[in-house]
Structure 1
Amino acid sequence: MLRLSTDNSSTNSNKLAPRPISIEDTGIKEFFLLELMLKHLSRGGVLTKFQLVNKMGVTGGIIQELFDKAKGLALVENRQSTENEQMRYSLSEAGERYAKQATIKSGYLGLVPVPLAQYSTICRMQSSRKNPVTLNMLQDSLKALILPDDLLHKIGPALNSNRPVLIYGPSGTGKSYLCRNLNAILGDSVLIPYSIAIGTEVIQVYDPKLHHAVGNNIESNQLDLVQGHDPRWIECKRPLRITGGELTAEMLEVQFDSHSRTYMAPIQLKANNGILLLDDLGRQRISVKQLFNRWIIPMEERRDFLSMQSGEHFELPFELILLFSTNLNPNELVDDAFLRRLGYKIRFDALDEALYRKIWFQVCEEQRLSCSEEMFKHLINDYHHLLDKPLIPCYPRDLLRIMADQISFMELKPLVTKTLIAEAWSIYFV
């Protein structure tokens, strides 16, 4: 079960999403809240007000309003109090019928959703572009990575732009590796809604595999707590969603599970206020042309259009840093018209010898291997130069790991030798 946060340290979160203290404040209709409470009672059997506060993410005062309404309709019954004198509640026979009918309409069972209008406002206010990336921020956040200076001067402005970014170049040049570390640059946290209400339907957005909560996530000990931000929003690190060859057209739309009768958010909605990386562009189960056609408006206008199974259409922000990464020729993937829509095209290539050397000896240290300058020069001159192999950033890691495996197997000294280089090279390269 998701625990409610009692961490009041985030003043900005409190201002963005103040805790609702009345049904009207939630932005959700009373009948919907009543149905959701009855579904929780149907699932839980007998629950206290305290338990419902945590299951629904609203104050005890709001729960009491709903109880009063339910009692007036003879849908809820009082049960024996707990040892600490908390009143317990369960459904009446009429309440069970009501809950079953509500479940047939929608299988959603979670925190009270936030209204679409509130989500759209807060999502735009949390844009990463409101705090521009600087060169110092980039260098500090990526100091563990060895990158050419010219790349940093291209990547930084690209992250501050409103345009999608295409990163391309040969395999192994660090495109995906860099993209997976870009989230560290943003550094701050954002509010992610557990779910969003679209009319009377609910789309679950929060995904614990993607959204990593920050702060203290423990149960509240005050039923009528009004401090802190709205618990329907979970404070998380900015999301980084990565998808590759598994991407399908269906993953870009709201998905409906007919068995559970619930809606799940598309990948771009889950990645809002963060980074969405489409890795290995050109190898997805959706064509590049189809993908770009789907996202022409979102990429240019930063707003997306989705629809529910009922046919209801709605608009929401497309507020994310969109990255494409490929080792294919961009000119063979899409035509010039599409390429122009990609504001930044950044090429990753082989390194110069100085940077390659830095990576080589960095990996040697990680693998606890000793390598002399003579052995490194032997690798460069007698293998890379002689065999015309470019200095690709992934080679040191891959070659030295093979050597470490050989050393472990043969019980050798942790020392890079000509024999080990020859063996690793013959295994690694076809």
Structure 2
Amino acid sequence: MLRLSTADKVKELPTNHLSCIEIAPRPKSIEDTGVQETLLLDLMLKHLFAGGVVTKADLVTHMGISGGIIQQLLDSAKQLAWVENRQSSPDGQMRYALSQNGEESAKQALARSGYRGLVPIPLAQYSAVCQKQSSRRNSITFEMLQNGLSSLVLPNDLLHKIGPALNSSRPVLIYGPPGTGKSYLCRNLNLSLGDSVLIPYAISIGNEIIQVFDPQLHYRVEASNNGGALDLLNGHDPRWIECKRPLRVTGGELTADMLEVQFDTHSRTYMAPIQLKANNGILLLDDLGRQRITAKELFNRWIIPMEERRDFLALQSGEHFEIPFELILLFSTNLNPNELVDDAFLRRLGYKIHFDALDEPLYRKIWFQVCAEKGLSCSEEMFRHLINDYHLLFEKPLIPCYPRDLLGIMSDQMSFMQLKPEVTKALIAEAWSIYFV
């Protein structure tokens, strides 16, 4: 049903209508951070403990707050006899280190929490920004979807089904036989959203900190308007990282634990669940029905989030808190939806979109597109031979993954046998016998 073109490039699409500076201005005081001074002091002590002797600029970089706020914290730490001045660096910057009392206080802080990163964003601030960045604030249009997926080969009616589903607040179930391009399409839908969003490095619930930013999921956007670390006037709050809208894909490895806040007893740190990491983006649950958590258990867990767009999580202490559920939730399955859950659950999904085999013109387009990508020549006669003497004869539907797979086998044969890069009857026969059982 679909195939990326050779270019494989992302088109430039509309950006967020609110600038990063408007959404998250730089804090100019301890109060602006939204975090208690005691937590800030604990975090600074941990950075000093890890760094040994550091400058104020180092602390600005490690904590993501201004030099003015760092200076206030240093003054407070000195009054508590936690921090000492050391000899200036060669460029004239004052350097700081922990006193003996400071080291003891740092060890106590690390025993309470092993987190050592940027100053967290308080939950209330995170929720407000997350709502402002919701993809549903700007409707996806047919033109946006068409541009975002222009490198894919799609049936004409599919965009008219997918587009409205993305604009809804309901989850989307995509189902159909294997190889029809369900997962492939879902993995490219975030190209249509286009704009970047701010992801917090971490959020705080009281004095507990949960790391949200995941470098394997969140792809940074190079900011052109963010000033230097010591500059209070330019750029957005550095505790927020500007990223492409996230796309989180999980399949058979999904467990119930992955939907909850994770606490590492060794490092004494909290990590965000998958839905929190995917906020303001897309969460795709691939191969629904094959996870380690049953489809019924999964839907039971997410009834409230799916309907009310808010989720409830808990810390190790048992404290519960609410987060926005501002993401596009997609389910993909090769199984019959009626075998997974009952009608009541299917009704909650809202949109159910069926993927099936292609018609011959689209299959032909993908076939010759893959030929071009692999540098293979194929005559019209050979393509007709494939359709008439194999697909029709053996009653194999025109599934969109077949061109890539069959031509890949032929290409391997050509390399091994040192043949011309040309599709022949013998190569088609050999590839077919290898591919199909």
Q: What band does the TM-score fall into relative to the shorter chain?
A: over 0.9
Partner Cα distance (2:264, 2:224) in 1: 29
| Conserved 8 A contact 1:191-1:235 | yes
Amino acid at match of 2:93: Q
1:208 corresponds to which of 215, 226, 229: 215
Partner SS, residue 146 of structure 1 = coil
Counterpart in the other structure of 1:223: 230
Aligned counterparts of 1:116 and 1:178: Cα–Cα separation in 2: 33
- Counterpart CA distance in 2 for 1:332 and 1:10 is 43
Question: Which residue of the partner structure matches residue 160 of structure 2?
Answer: 153
Deviation at 1:223, TM superposition (A): 2.4
Pairing partner for 1:178 from 176, 179, 185:
185
Question: Contact (CA 8 Å) 2:47, 2:116: kept in 1 or not?
Answer: yes
Deviations 1:330-376 (A, max 9, x none): 00000000000001000000000010000000001111111111111
Q: Secondary structure at the match of 2:391?
A: helix
Task: Give the Å deviation of 1:216.
Answer: 4.2
Indicate which of 379, 383, 394 corresponds to 1:376: 383
Amino acid at match of 2:73: L
- For residue 236 of structure 1, the aligned residue among 221, 243, 253 is 243
Whole-angstrom CA distance in 2 between matches of 1:240 and 1:338: 24
- 2:306 maps to a residue whose letter is M
* TM-score, length of structure 1 as denominator length: 0.96
- Partner of residue 411, structure 1: 418
In structure 1, distance between residues paired with 2:344 and 2:177: 24
Select 2:102's aligned residue among 95, 103, 110. Answer: 95
Contact 2:60 2:67 in 1 (8 A): yes
Task: State how 1:218-367 maps to structure 2 within 5 Å.
Answer: 221=228, 223-367=230-374
Q: Within the alignment, does 1:120 sit opposite 2:136 as a pair?
A: no
2:145 match: secondary structure: helix
Report the alpha carbon displacement of residue 226 of structure 1 after superposing the two structures with TM.
2.8
Equivalence for 1:50: 57
Instruction: Look up the match of 1:136.
Output: 143
Distance 2:225 2:135 in 1: 28
Cα shift readout 1:200-252 (whole Å, capped 9, x = no counterpart): 10000000110011014999645243321110000000000000000000000
Q: What is the number of residues matched between the two proteins?
A: 422
Among all aligned residue pairs of Structure 1 and Structure 2, give the percentage whose two residues are the same amino acid.
76
TM-score by length of 2: 0.95
- Alignment-mate amino acid for residue 317 of structure 1: P
Task: Return the alpha-carbon distance in structure 2 between the equivalents of residues 220 and 86 of structure 1.
Answer: 20
Q: Is the 8 A contact 1:202 1:263 kept in 2?
A: yes
Secondary structure of the residue that 1:149 maps to in structure 2? coil
5+ long unaligned stretches in structure 1: 1-8
Q: Is the 8 A contact 2:227 2:234 kept in 1?
A: no
1:400 aligned partner: 407
SS of equivalent to 1:416 = coil
Question: Deviations 1:163-199 (Å, cap 9, x if unpaired)?
Answer: 0000000000000100111110001000000000011
Tell me if structure 2 keeps the 8 A contact 1:59–1:226. no
> Aligned equivalents of 1:306 and 1:127: distance in 2?
20
- Whole-angstrom CA distance in 2 between matches of 1:52 and 1:209: 25
Looking at structure 2, the residues matched to 338 and 80 of structure 1 have their Cα atoms a distance apart, in angstroms, of 66
For the residue of structure 2 that corresponds to 1:325, the secondary structure is strand
**Residue 196 (1) aligns with residue 203 (2):** yes
Q: 1:10 to 1:48 in 2, by over 3 A?
A: farther
Distance in 1 of aligned mates of 2:73 and 2:269: 23
Q: Is contact 1:164-1:344 (8 Å) kept?
A: yes
- Secondary structure in 1 aligned to 2:214? coil
* Aligned residues of 1:251 and 1:266 also touching (Cα < 8 A): yes
Report the residue type matching 1:238 in the other structure. Answer: R
Of residues 24, 27, 42, the one that matches 2:34 is: 27
Contact residue 309 and residue 324 of structure 2 kept, 8 A: yes
**Alpha-carbon separation, structure 1, partners of 2:374 and 2:229:** 52
Deviation per CA, 1:16-47, whole angstroms, max 9, x where unpaired?
A: 11100100000000111011101100010000
AA of the residue aligned to 2:92: E
1-structure distance, mates of 2:50, 2:148: 46
**Displacement, 1:131?**
1.3
Q: Counterpart of 2:157 in 1: which secondary structure?
A: helix
- Structure 2 distance, partners of 1:390, 1:180, is 24
